[in-house]
Amino acid sequence: MSKFLKIGITCYPSLGGSGVVATELGKLLAEKGHQVHFITHSIPFRLGTTFQKNIFYHEVEVNDYYVFKYPPYDLALATKMAQVAKLQNLDILHVHYAVPHAVCAFLAKQMVGDQLKVVTTLHGTDITVLAQDETLKDLIRLAINESDAVTAVSNDLIRETRDVLDISRDIDLTYNFVDKRVYYPRDTTSLRQDFALPDEKILMHISNFRPVKRVSDVIDIFAKVNEEIPSKLLLVGEGPDLPKIQCIINELGLSDRVHFLGKQDEIAHVISLADVLLLPSSKESFGLVALEAMACGVPTVGSEAGGIPELVIHGETGFLAPIGDVAQMAEFTIQLLSDVALGERFSKACLKRAREDFCDTLITKKYEEIYYRVLGREVPNTEYLNEVCG
């Protein structure tokens, strides 16, 4: 029996934290010798189109039959999962999000047989939003309970899953991670001058600009900080709240202090421009962008929502305040920007924590251990990536 596994991965392939983590995990698993098959409706944006050893892509195509009011994507995905599992003799289907992916994996397993194991990773929205809908609650509970293993990206998400769905089964805590070969402090000296003067500080916010991100709080925080310390604000991403945010910025007379960068793929370069990342969300199961910033040596000032306190250590790698307390967040930001020694200490603590506690090697190994456990096999003595944590 080969020590390497054949793993199918299904995720949302467009922009989003879950798709990023799923894709990066697949790439790391492939580097280690496992065969990874992405089963999605389009190529995950972090995967790229160039050939990569041990990585395969299987497109889910939906037939728009006239008898269906809506194209049956869920059924097409389940069928494709089963087809790939049979053809490639997959060991594991690792699905990210309960709906629809874990439900489809459950159906695929019914078609293929018990030898195919299903691992479901909960990222947040499937519990914090979808599971609040009574029409979906039973379906999500079924998908979770029928999975061979379930993981979640924070203790807070595990707690909410148990509370909302009355789930008693074991759920493995597997934090998100970043690839340390990609996320590290970049030299942005030449790029920085395009956005700020030498004596100005740079604040940054990265999100999908939805209400839950409280981007208006970001603007309020920046306005207060800018009154005390000359600053620029870089807004990265797009979303439904963006037009409203543009109006607020214009009304406050800050249009010359704010840069809209749109969606960006090279996040490590962009984040390295910042002195502080702002993350005042009302809900955040983990806060991947704060980890990306941490890995680049940038502290976060944000809210105490969800899993953020598990990632950002208050007073060490950033500052946290109650949701909506923009005055306190602004005060913390001013404190970080005005005290050079404090900023440097926080930056070093960020790098240390990202490399030691959220190391890609560490989290990848944990997922492997889960795979072998559900297969009833011992973890083989394989060499992990040459680079170690720390």
CATH no. for residue 100?
Answer: 3.40.50.2000
Same-domain check for residues 349 and 213: yes
385 lies in some domain: no
Same-domain check for residues 123 and 134: yes
d(CA 176, CA 367): 11
- Report which of 228, 224, 344 is spatially closest to residue 280, judged by C-alpha positions: 224
Same-domain check for residues 28 and 39: yes
Of all residues in the chain, what percent are helix, strand and coil, respectively (each to 5)?
Answer: 45, 15, 40
184 lies in some domain: no
8 Å CB contact between 7 and 90 = yes
134 lies in some domain: yes
Same-domain check for residues 117 and 223: no
pLDDT at 68: 74
Cross-strand pairs, 152: 122, 173
pLDDT at 385: 41
Same-domain check for residues 201 and 342: yes
pLDDT at 49: 65
Regions of the chain with pLDDT less than 50: 384-387
**Number of domains into which the chain is organized:** 2
Buried b (16+ CB within 10 A) or exposed e, 160-174: bbeebbebeeebbeb
388 lies in some domain: no
d(CA 136, CA 121): 18
pLDDT at 13: 86
Same-domain check for residues 266 and 304: yes
Q: 321: which residues sit within 8 A by CB, 6+ positions away?
A: 301, 302, 303, 304, 328, 329, 332
Tens digit of each residue's pLDDT (9 = 90 or more) over 308-333? 999 999 999 999 999 999 999 999 99
pLDDT at 16: 72
Same-domain check for residues 157 and 226: no
Q: Which amino acid is at 223?
A: A
pTM above 0.85, yes or no: yes
Tens digit of each residue's pLDDT (9 = 90 or more) over 268-298? 999 999 999 999 999 999 999 999 999 999 9
Rounded to 5°, the CA angle 111-119-377 comes to 95
pLDDT at 297: 98
Same-domain check for residues 26 and 153: yes
Same-domain check for residues 256 and 322: yes
Same-domain check for residues 131 and 224: no
Same-domain check for residues 139 and 271: no
Q: Which residue range forms the structural domain that includes residue 88?
A: 6-177+359-375
312: left (phi over 0), alpha (psi -120 to 50) or beta: beta
Q: Which amino acid is at 168?
A: S
